[in-house]
């Protein structure tokens, strides 16, 4: 089954404790991206990747890092989480560009205390 | 820069009524793509439609229809004879053509929460 998976689905952590949210797709997609969803703000793009070792900032990259060492994986790293990073995070992938249909993961709900 | 505006934050209608969700976009590119996604209460994001800027033909899929008007930069979504299962948050999104290296973003609107009252 074609899918995008994210782990964990729910996470409670404390300020400053490094964490990684994993994202994996099994569709051989080149384009992957991360979004955060906040009430009243919709989905905002954090980072995207056009292919292995090619990443770029989205609209709200501050406080986040990403890497793309393998085509299927695109982890989101919060080196020092802060309460304002409490949010619902979605990973997505598409064949090669954002102009194609995005396949979204189920979301990761993060609470930073 | 690209921008998507969904001015309707919340809409409530009685079941079987028709409802239109508005989406207004901004881009300087002549080639772009517009999308609608649905987020039901369960939280996942469900793709509804993708339309490119060269295809202004309206589309109908069952009770759903989309009206794309380049003259007003709008891509509105209408649900006919609404049902309770249509209750969700609906997002409009825009991706412009690659005119500058690195401009490979997908921009979402803030969403419209639609509640269908039984």
Helical H segments across chain B, by residue range? none
Residue B32, preceding peptide bond in cis (omega within 30° of 0) = no
Residue B30, Cβ density class (10 Å: 0-12 exposed, 13-18 middle, ≥19 buried): exposed
Residue A98 has its nearest CB partner, among B37, B91, B105, at B105
Hey, is the C-beta of A10 within 8 angstroms of any chain B C-beta? no
Kindly identify which residue of chain A lies nearest to residue B91, measuring between CA atoms.
A42
Residues of chain A positioned with their CB less than 8 A from the CB of B102: 56
Cβ pair A48, A54 in contact under 8 A: no
Cis before A62? omega within 30:
no
CB contact under 8 Å between A48 and B104, yes or no, is: yes
Tokens 């790293």 map to which residue?
A: A77
- Would the CB atoms of A59 and B105 count as touching at under 8 Å? yes
The whole-angstrom distance between B18's CA and the closest CA on chain A is 24
Among B32, B98, B110, the residue with its CB nearest the CB of A42 is B110
Checking DSSP bridges between strand B88-96 and strand A108-112, what pairing results, if any? Answer: unpaired
Per DSSP, B100 falls in state: S
Q: Closest approach of chain B CAs to the CA of A47, in angstroms? A: 9
Instruction: Give backbone dihedrals phi and psi of A29, rounded to 5 degrees, phi first.
Output: -75, 145
Task: Say if residues B66 and B38 touch (Cβ distance below 8 Å).
Answer: no
Paired with A33 in beta bridges are A48, A92
**What pLDDT, on the 0 to 100 scale, is given for residue B80?**
96
For A1-42, the pLDDT digits (tens) are: 889 999 999 999 999 999 999 999 999 999 999 999 999 999
Residue A65's pLDDT is 97
Q: How many contacts, defined by CB atoms under 8 Å, are there between A and B?
A: 63
Residue in A42, A50, A99 closest to B111 by CB = A42
B8-39 pLDDT, tens digit per residue, is 999 999 999 999 999 999 998 888 999 999 99
pLDDT above 90 (res A99): no
* Ranges of chain B with pLDDT below 70: 97-103
Whole-angstrom distance, CA of residue B7 vs CA of residue A42: 12
């Amino acid at each position: 089954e074609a899918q995008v998976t994210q782990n964990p689905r729910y996470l409670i952590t404390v300020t400053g404790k490094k964490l990684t949210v994993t994202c994996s797709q099994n569709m051989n997609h080149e384009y992957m991206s991360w979004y955060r969803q906040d009430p009243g703000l919709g989905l905002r793009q954090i980072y995207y990747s056009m292919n292995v070792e090619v990443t770029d900032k989205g609209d709200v990259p501050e406080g986040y890092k990403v890497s793309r060492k393998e085509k299927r994986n695109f982890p989101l790293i919060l080196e020092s989480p802060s309460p304002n990073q409490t949010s619902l995070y979605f990973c997505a992938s598409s064949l090669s560009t954002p102009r194609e249909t995005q396949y979204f993961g189920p979301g990761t709900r993060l609470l930073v205390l | 820069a690209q921008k998507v505006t969904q001015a309707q934050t919340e809409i409530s209608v009685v079941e079987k009524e028709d409802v239109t969700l508005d989406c207004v976009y901004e881009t300087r590119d002549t080639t772009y793509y517009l999308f609608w996604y649905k987020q039901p209460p369960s939280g996942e994001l469900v793709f509804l439609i993708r339309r490119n800027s060269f295809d202004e033909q309206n589309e109908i899929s069952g009770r759903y229809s989309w009206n794309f008007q380049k003259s007003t930069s709008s891509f509105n979504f209408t649900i006919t004879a609404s049902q309770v299962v249509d209750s969700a948050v609906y997002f409009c999104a825009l991706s412009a053509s690659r005119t500058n290296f690195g401009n490979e973003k997908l921009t979402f609107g803030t969403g419209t929460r639609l509640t269908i009252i039984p």
